[in-house]
Structure 1
């Protein structure tokens, strides 16, 4: 099926998107008051998937109170891992009162829907979602866009082009990307007009096993809550990663190449007929938790910078806040921060975003049109443009001396025990974004794993991980004595380093988010030529 998807042409994207943009400017989300309103309605329906297995997808349709003959836009919503649709009208009352229809979707392998979970595979969940939109397009009370003759939605089998938004978090963010991008892959255009994905992924591999080190804490939880509901190859891959600390990459006979498969189960893996990355040209409100230790902020950054066209980025917002998937973690010790001080995750903001998207308004409706809205761990709201950030600011720890050893201030070079913290800079300093690390590593041992993070404190002894996130690095095979050059990203963060505090690079041999799979053998790892590049807010 995937080969068939990739063989279809995308030449009609420009004309379809241009027609959609013109039609959207004429639409309003609020039904007319000229007619006598009818009572709002809610009803259950089953949609037959377009996938080869033809399973049933269970949905709940909520129709707002509206006048006879009126039409309204529709918002899609779906659940997180292990959830199901909502049948309670109160769950969507605010959207219905604002004049939207809502369709709540139970994804395959969940609730009353059939099949097993494929974790947002375009050949399965992608075709499921297209079938749901086909059904919505056939409802006479749903607003439609006018179509050009060569529009892919002029095909009677597709039912037209409904005015459509989508929202949801985690797995409920993944379905939005698989719908819009699978339509782009199949037809060269998408019927989704605006999206608000929260705490979801760009690439399942970098999320579940960054640098090929499985997130054992999260894989254990995901496996334990859905082992009998996922396709067997996924269940086996999760179990293998939990047990061994190795990622199922096709090198073990009889074990499916989960790494290659999951590369296509998110925005990072969508390509067109020529093998080029597919981009979406629709406004988005992308929200992600800095203290999320499953889908870290880097996933949202990649969706904003790599999945959207430049024109779409000019109409979109990226909001980082303190929250999301956050299992308790204490090693290395850190702090999470709390809340969203920029109001980017509120239902009021989300509905205002959809109002603007469907009526030709300003979809950057927070903070006078800035693209970035980040809540620091100390709960300050940063409203930033690219011009406000020095993306090239670099820092080198002074404790790494020219001979390549870690100086006595860090307690020596041993990496067999406690974390070490290397001072990078003294406050005041404000960080906002995704830092990068480059270094040469050397030492002893086999299949070593190190965990890097940025921390702050008044000394190395009390430095704590900012927003509770670490990034692993795996040195497969023997650790070279002559040095292994690495370049890697650290977890995205937002924080202010005050006067009297310092910013540190903390390196740990273990992390409880990757329990059981830290450094493999006793020994040490030293570093030379260490540089950390940190997006730094430019002082006024």
Structure 2
């Protein structure tokens, strides 16, 4: 299989593409397959909370093709016609970073786990909260996850989560314009939850920081916030993610 997945896609995000590559293929088939993540797809700029992504497909170029369509032709020529095309990069992840370089990795499993303690956010209305996770330079890739015990004041409460980069909490921008929701249909009283954040690939340069963004509203989910203002509390919250050597 040849996978082409928009990382800044707001409708079908990178989490879904990685899940398909990791779970739908046998190990033998995966070793003969290629995964390419590009910045694009069904996209809108993230304004609330602010986000960033550099459009383009540097990984198809890194694999020797000017675009994904050409890469697909080479892949089909090799697999259907049995002709040598010089294609390489099988069995690994090729991900466009938010700034537009190609990052190639064989393993995206989390290797960092950070204790965050208590996280309190309004729901339904309010401003984003940006919690500092780590200082650059570092590279983060894969699917982060946040876990904790959830408490809410009113039913149908929700908040949205993402990783962000900036020099300080006021300048932090959501990586590749994607957030993921946690929504409680009923009033939650210490319910244990583990939530996937948007899967990403990002370089955090020196002088900038990696943040966890928790926001009561996200324009990518317009119309899906709770009907009443309230609050959500996460106790004993932890964040797991993968860092890579620069």
TM-score, normalized by length of structure 1?
0.42
Q: How do 1:90-109 residues align onto structure 2 when only pairs under 5 Å count?
A: none
CA distance 1:370–1:441, change in 2 (3 Å): same
C-alpha displacement of 1:336: 2.2
Report the equivalent of 1:395.
114
C-alpha separation in 2, matches of 1:305 and 1:361: 27
Which residue does the alignment assign to 1:526? 233
User: 1:361 Cα shift?
Assistant: 6.3
What residue ranges of structure 2 are gaps of 5+ in the alignment? none
Change in CA separation of 1:364 and 1:525 when aligned onto 2, cut-off 3 Å: farther
- Counterpart in 1 of 2:188? 479
Residue 312 (1) aligns with residue 55 (2): no
1:460-492 superposed Cα distances (whole Å, 9 cap, x missing partner): 111111000011111111232xx2211121111
- Secondary structure at 2:21's aligned position in 1? helix
Q: Corresponding residue for 1:239?
A: none
1:364/1:393 Cα in 2 relative to 1: closer, same or farther (>3 Å)? farther
More strand by share: 2
**Deviation (angstroms), 1:504:** 1.0
C-alpha contact (below 8 Å) 2:119/2:237 kept by paired residues:
no
The size of the alignment, in residue pairs, is 240
Alignment of 1:30-45 (within 5 A): none
Q: CA RMSD in A?
A: 2.1
When normalised by structure 2's length, the TM-score is 0.89
Q: Deviations over 1:160-216 (max 9, x none)?
A: xxxxxxxxxxxxxxxxxxxxxxxxxxxxxxxxxxxxxxxxxxxxxxxxxxxxxxxxx
Render the CA deviation track for 1:264-319: whole Å, top value 9, x for unaligned: xxxxxxxxxxxxxxxxxxxx110101100001111111111111111100000111
Q: Greater relative contact order (Cα 8 A, min sep 6): structure 1 or 2?
A: 2
Name the SS of the counterpart of 1:462 in structure 2: coil
After superposition, the Cα gap between the structure-2 partners of 1:486 and 1:363, relative to the gap in structure 1 and judged at 3 Å, is farther
More helix by share: 1
Alignment of 1:244-323 (within 5 A): 284-323=1-40
**Distance of aligned partners of 1:391 and 1:303 in 2 relative to their CA distance in 1, 3 Å threshold:** same
Q: Which runs of 5+ in 1 are unaligned?
A: 1-283, 407-412
Report what 1:445 is aligned to: 154
Q: Is the Cα–Cα contact under 8 Å of residues 429 and 497 in structure 1 kept in the other structure?
A: yes
**Are positions 1:365 and 2:87 aligned together?**
yes
The structural deviation recorded for 1:405 is 5.8
1:504 pairs, out of 211, 215, 238, with 211
3-state DSSP of counterpart to 1:531:
strand
